[in-house]
């Protein structure tokens, strides 16, 4: 409901306060069950602050894959390991 309401507001140049409930237009009509119109209006207003493609829960891009060690790093690690093994054997 939030995305559709925000899209309609954008298309018509309206603001979040333009989205009203049934009972605000016609007294005696019930609002949709379980819909908190104040919260809905707040969410629509928040969405209208951003571009149409914005998503409050957009997934973060994956972390870059670790690069394999360079030849120098591999040689250093090997030298460290050999040195440690030589010390152990003494």
pLDDT in tens, the chain (90 residues): 898 999 999 999 999 999 988 877 887 777 667 788 889 999 999 999 988 888 877 677 888 889 999 999 999 999 999 999 998 887
Q: How far is Cα 24 from Cα 35, in angstroms, rounded to an integer?
A: 14
Q: Is the pTM of this model over 0.85?
A: no
**Residue 26 parent element (H or E):** none
Q: What is the pLDDT of residue 62?
A: 83
Q: How far is Cα 27 from Cα 50, in angstroms, rounded to an integer?
A: 33
Question: Is 45 strand, coil or helix?
Answer: helix
Q: What is the pLDDT of residue 54?
A: 84
Q: Largest Cα–Cα distance in the chain? A: 93
Q: What is the pLDDT of residue 78?
A: 95
Q: Alpha carbon of 90 to those of 23, 78, 86: distances in Å?
A: 88, 19, 7
């Amino acid at each position: 409901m939030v995305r559709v309401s925000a899209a309609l507001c954008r298309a018509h140049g309206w603001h979040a306060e333009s989205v009203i409930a049934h009972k605000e237009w016609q007294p005696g009509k019930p609002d949709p069950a379980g819909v908190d119109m104040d919260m809905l209006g707040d969410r629509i207003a928040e969405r209208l602050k951003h571009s149409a493609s914005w998503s409050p829960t957009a997934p973060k891009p994956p972390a870059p894959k670790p690069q394999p060690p360079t030849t120098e790093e591999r040689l250093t690690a090997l030298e460290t390991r050999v040195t440690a093994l030589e010390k152990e054997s003494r």
